[in-house]
Structure 1
Amino acid sequence: MTKRTSAKYKLDRRMGENIWGRPKSPVNRREYGPGQHGQRRKGKLSDFGTQLRAKQKLKGHYGDLTEKQFRRIYSEAERVKGDTGENLIGLLERRLDAVVYRAKFVPTVFAARQFVNHGHVTVNGQRVNIPSYRVKEGDVVAIRDKSRQLAIVLEAVGLPERDVPDYIEADHSKMTATFVRTPALGDVPYAVQMEPNLVVEYYAKN
């Protein structure tokens, strides 16, 4: 098993939830945490613990971002007018790696980051290799011609377990995706419940 895959499954086990809805997640078989004491750690979480878990779950869903990256996005969400939790979701979904994942060009968000890093993606015809690049409404994300027949892409397009959300218009015959609009929390097809309001509470106290 690759290091990346084992890290992904460890995250699921730590959260006790299948945060990407993947059929192979170990949580589908056992819901306790990793390690020899995993089964004993099912105590009631404090308010702080609940908020921390909400933050770790959201951070983990987008490829286990570093605390510094996540905090920076949160600070930006706080500065924009409107609901901070909704703004946070909108900013996370505008990341290029998130758009590539949502458009079903790759099977996982971890693969999306690597895919963008390796220069397989263009935005409005320009090659972009920065996973955190922020897509704007109306931007067209495409897979470069020479990358369209990669096994990882063909596998992802055929995956039955998730659909492309309606804020992205994907054309798998042309391998393009248009970012139509910034989604609200209710628009994002999370496999588990995300609670950005608890993330806001966490940062308000810490």
Structure 2
Amino acid sequence: MPRDIHRKIYLTGAAGAGVTTLGAEIARHYGLTHIDCDTYYWQPTDPPYTHKRPVAERCALISARQAQGGWVLSGAFDGWGDPLIGDVDLVVYLQTPTPLRIARIRAREAERYGARIEPGGDMHGIHRAFIAWAAEYDNPRFAGRNRRRHEEWLAVQQAPVLRLEGDSPLPALLWQVTQSMMTELRPATGFGATAARRVATSQA
């Protein structure tokens, strides 16, 4: 599909909420660049997820990708990446029930790493710690990323904020994003009637 629009969309939510999946689908459907925060948050190591990139380095890498044109950025900054979305057109917050999020994470990790996350595997401890961390999202006293902090951050955003239910089918979520882009924001090539027809066709 031709890259004929220059929209800038940021998707955020808890771990396992589905922001990467939805972000990739929006980008694919409209010919935008998809950028996932986790790709740049962690240094490439084996086992993974053991060394964070410095904030300045990860921001520089993401900014370079954004310079290519319209983009969809997915992930949760928790403050460190706010300068990257100063001119964002739309913020999408995906809220997904915790049991479903944890089930998704378990399935995703098993598919990616197999026996490495099982007892005795070199990633077992990393996997258990990640599950425990993700499960605390609804706890307002949790020191890590949590719903209270997310809500406080959303409340001060200048761009429109679209809230979506992460347990909805992917085509329905894509449709809601398109509707929001059409009704709340200024016109831009690709998000008019043609874009609506594209989504309607994909749902048929």
TM-score, normalised relative to structure 1:
0.26
Q: Which has the larger share of strand? A: 2
